[in-house]
Every structure is written in structure tokens, then in C-alpha cells.
Amino acid sequence: MTIVVTGAAGFIGFHLCGALLRQGHHVVGLDSLNDYYDVSLKTARLSILETNTNFTFAKVNIADMDALTAALQPYKFKQMFHLAAQAGVRYSLENPSAYIQSNLVGHANILEICRHHDGFMHLIYASSSSVYGGNQKIPFAEDDPVDRPVSLYAATKKADELMSHTYGHLYDLAQTGVRFFTVYGPWGRPDMAYWMFTRNLLEGRPIRIFNNGDMRRDFTFIDDVIEGLLTILEKGPVRHDKGANPHRVYNMGNNRPEELLHMVEVLEKATRRTAVQKLEPMQPGDVKETFADLTAIQADYGFQPKVSIEEGLPKFVQWYRQFADL
């Protein structure tokens, strides 16, 4: 079976493509290979995927509808994972147009492609826990109000969910949106705190701790995420009522928020270094806490994350040492 994955050279896309290839699928990966972070990390991921002859890659910007249409024209597919996006909360204050192009125009183009593709059955796309903004009610549940985003990144992810809802309603396009909660692991993203802390610890540099450490994050290990996505592919889309809108949104987190300072302790132990901490105020656009209610995804897909940060972060550190040759 041919499955399309956008954002294939990205962190989650790379792991997902690998898992799909191991299941014997033909994977068509798309990515613009943009330089938001070191492109050599993206090409290193791709060179691993390209050792499998069932993997086909096209460098394409999903905001360019003509290029996107041409890249997918040779293939017949029924399912697509749409993970390409401009990620990162803080960068959305610096370069808003990257978010408008990739996340809004790009998502709309993907919806149009899927709507018009003969025999298409299921679009699984990435949303984000950031849509919950500064919500006080925890844990965050899918039917909580999310119309007060605190960053443009969050606003674009919520807008994607709204566009998807409309395509479900108007065109019966089956879709599953997944709100990821701080996904981490080997081959991760250099803009994320756990990566920067590890690098700085190993290089003997101070680490910047925002909001004086008063932050909690629901950290989700990449293997748990990939298992969850494969289950959604296999069992989905779940339709509760005949004739109901076939678009659903789920949290995918760990249901276990960790104190930021505890995360630092786990990294100190894994690196065998002591952090020099620079305590700083809260960053604009950031949120104090994320905490996923997993009731819906457990009921529909039996999603049960297994990996704690005590197990997952040392795996990242071990990978990072090899990757950075430290």
C-alpha cells in the first residue's frame, strides 16, 4: 500500500516513515527541507530512509499547489499523514509568514489534494497541545474551549482543525487531527529545550530556565507516538454515528506532566554533568503547563503511552552523544 507522509525529513516524519517501511508499505515522503534548523540533520534522516527502495522522496513546498500536485500526480494512495508544518512557538513571533504559508496555505492545499484524489480514505494530520493556550482547567480535554491561543503557531494549528472540520462537513473527508504533547527522542528537534539542555550540559555551558523553572510539560516519547499513529492508520477513521462529520481530534500525550526542573535532573544524571542554571522570566507565547487527558484516544484507539522521561531522556542523550560525536 502506498502512504504519503508530509514532513518526512522532520523528527516525527522520519520515525513514522521508518516504521511504515518496516511494515512493508511504499512510502512517498514530501518535505521542503527548510532551514528552520540545521538542514544536515534532515538530510541525515533522509539518507537513512533512502536505503529502503520502498521509500520515494520529493522535495516540495506544500504551500506551492502546482508543485504539490505534480509531486503526487504519479501515485495512487488512500491514506496520508500530514506532518509538514512550521513548528515552534517562539519562532512564530519572529517570522509569522512562515507559519501562514506552511501551516495555513499548506494545510488547505493538502485538504484539496485529498478531497480530489480518487479513492482517498483517511488523512491523519498534526495539531498541537499549544491550541490549549493558557487554559486553567487540567488535564486538557478535546472538548475544552480553545479559542484563546497565545501564539500565532497555536492559532494556525487551531485554524487547521477548523478547516479540516469544514472539509469533513462539506465533503465527507475522513480526517484525524492529533494534538501532540512535547514529543522527544533520538533524531529530535534542535530547537526544543531537552536538546538545548543536553547540548549545553555536555559542552559545559549554562542552560536557560524560563519562568524560573515553574513549568510543567507532558513529555511524549517518540516510540509511543509512532505506535499511536500506526494504530490510527490501522483502525481509523473511527466513526461514532453514521452520517456524522468524519473529522475527529485527539490528544496524544503522556498524561503525566513533569516539572521542568525534574527534567533537568534527569538530564544531569544521564549526562553525568551538573547544570549551571540561568533563571529567566516567562517567554512571550509560552504556556506554563501542558497535561493531556487521554480518555478519548484510549477509548477509540487504546492509546497507552509506556515510556517515562527517566527511560526516554537517557535514550536521547545516548543518541545525541553519538550524533554530535561527544
Tell me how far, at minimum, the Cβ of 84 lies from ligand NAD, in Å.
4
Tell me whether residue 168 or residue 177 sits nearer to ligand NAD (CB atom).
Answer: 177
Q: Which residues contact 162 (CB under 8 A, 6 or more apart)?
A: none
102 binds ligand NAD (CB under 6 A): yes
Q: Using CB under 6 A, which of 3, 17, 21, 85 touches ligand NAD?
A: 85
Q: Which residues contact 36 (CB under 8 A, 6 or more apart)?
A: 86, 87, 88, 91, 98, 191
User: For the chain, what is the largest distance between any 2 Cα atoms, rounded to a whole number of angstroms?
Assistant: 59
182 binds ligand NAD (CB under 6 A): yes
Tell me whether residue 46 or residue 207 sits nearer to ligand NAD (CB atom).
Answer: 46
Per-residue cell: 152:
500565532
186 binds ligand NAD (CB under 6 A): no
Phi first, then psi, for residue 87 (nearest 5°) are -95, 175
62 binds ligand NAD (CB under 6 A): yes
Contact string 4-33 vs ligand NAD (x = CB under 6 A) = ---x-xxxxx-----------------xxx
**Sequence-ordered strand ranges (E) for 139-181:** 175-180
Residue 207 and residue 200 in contact, taking contact as beta carbons nearer than 8 Å: yes
Residue 200 and residue 277 in contact, taking contact as beta carbons nearer than 8 Å: no
The span from the CA of 281 to the CA of 140, in Å, is: 24
83 binds ligand NAD (CB under 6 A): yes
Binding positions for ligand NAD, 111-130, rule CB under 6 A: 126, 128
Kindly tell me the sign of the dihedral angle through the C-alpha atoms of 287, 293, 297, 298.
positive
> Could you give the residue numbers annotated as active site?
153
109 binds ligand NAD (CB under 6 A): no
313 binds ligand NAD (CB under 6 A): no
Residue 71 and residue 30 in contact, taking contact as beta carbons nearer than 8 Å: yes
Q: How many residues bind ligand NAD (CB under 6 A)?
A: 27
Question: Cis omega (within 30 of 0) on the bond before 139?
Answer: yes
183 binds ligand NAD (CB under 6 A): yes
Tell me how far, at minimum, the Cβ of 28 lies from ligand NAD, in Å.
13
Q: How many residues does the chain have?
A: 326
Tell me how far, at minimum, the Cβ of 243 lies from ligand NAD, in Å.
30
Tell me how far, at minimum, the Cβ of 222 lies from ligand NAD, in Å.
9
Binding positions for ligand NAD, 141-180, rule CB under 6 A: 180
Site residues (vs ligand NAD, CB under 6 A): 7, 9-13, 31-34, 42, 61-63, 83-87, 102, 106, 126, 128, 180, 182-183, 189
